[in-house]
Amino acid sequence: MISDGENTAAREAQVLLVDDDRELCQMLCEYLQAEHFVVHSVHDGAAALQRIRSERFDIIILDVMLPGASGFDVLRDLGADFGTPVLMLTARGDDIDRIIGLELGADDYLAKPFNPRELVARIRAILRRSNNRAPRAAGSEIIQVGPIRLNTATLQASMDSRPISLTGAEFRVLEILMRAPGQVLSREHLTESALGRRLVPYDRSIDTHISNLRRKLQLEAGKIPELKNVRGAGYVLAWTTG
């Protein structure tokens, strides 16, 4: 059963579940409702886009394999700067799906089959990051390293005064690196701080986000500033003032 209501004391998180496996949707809806989420489900990409454009959701759980418009098509239509966080459901071991999803703007991914408890943990981690990044009522913090500038209140990024469209996850990765310029930060630290979860074997999410940042900011190898991979150690935003 799918609830459309809200908690009268405090608004419950609104979840849109997009998957063509109706039996799985029913099971997940019941599980998530027991965890105090309000869940709505649709079963194809076109229906998902219609709901997203007409209603407000706190998070979208989006399967890659959908009839008609795929999950990737939905992400492309929404655009990389779409404000609502998206958790992609991918086939286990399909690295290409995960990379494409992250490049198109997904915040995180979860491989099928999965434990519903892990899904709940991922949702809460994403919502926690999203809430922590809500615009502040007064004032803003500007972080600048060379030509790269971040406004942490408005979540705006620029390079040489040129606006750069970043996903929520990309913004968080860049912010963490910019708060420690010249310091090597491990993939474990970046995953925990930016994505809100522990790094697991074969997880290449951070590497994909770094690759996207290099491309969007046009950070070329050998030029300063540079996002460098320090083999066996992690990543560093290299910057020198002289």
Is the pLDDT at 230 greater than 80? The verdict is yes
pLDDT in tens, 135-156: 444 456 899 999 999 998 888 8
Longest dimension (CA), the chain: 63
241 conformational bin, left if phi > 0, alpha if psi -120 to 50, beta if neither: alpha
Decide if 36 contacts 6 (C-beta within 8 A).
no
Give the residue-averaged pLDDT of 195-222: 86
Express as a percent the part of the chain with pLDDT over 70.
88
HSE (side-chain half, CA atoms, 13 Å) at 55: 17
- Boundaries of CATH 3.40.50.2300 in the chain? 14-132
Is the pLDDT at 7 greater than 80? The verdict is no
Q: How far apart are CA 209 and CA 86, in angstroms?
A: 15
| pTM, 2 dp | 0.69
User: What does the mean pLDDT of the chain come to?
Assistant: 85
Return the CATH number of the domain spanning residue range 14-132.
3.40.50.2300
Q: How far apart are CA 169 and CA 107, in angstroms?
A: 6
pLDDT in tens, 68-90: 889 999 999 987 667 789 999 98
Its CATH architecture, for the domain 142-238, is Orthogonal Bundle (1.10)
Query: Buried b / exposed e across 189-227, counting CB within 10 Å, b at 16+?
Result: bbbeebbbbebeeebebbebbbbbbbebbebeeeeebeb
Is the pLDDT at 163 greater than 50? The verdict is yes
Instruction: Out of 39-43, 77-81, 126-130, 199-203, give the one with best mean pLDDT.
Output: 39-43
Give the residue-averaged pLDDT of 6-26: 78
- Boundaries of CATH 1.10.10.10 in the chain? 142-238
Confidence at residue 222, expressed as pLDDT on a 0 to 100 scale = 77
Confidence at residue 203, expressed as pLDDT on a 0 to 100 scale = 82
Decide if 86 contacts 62 (C-beta within 8 A).
yes
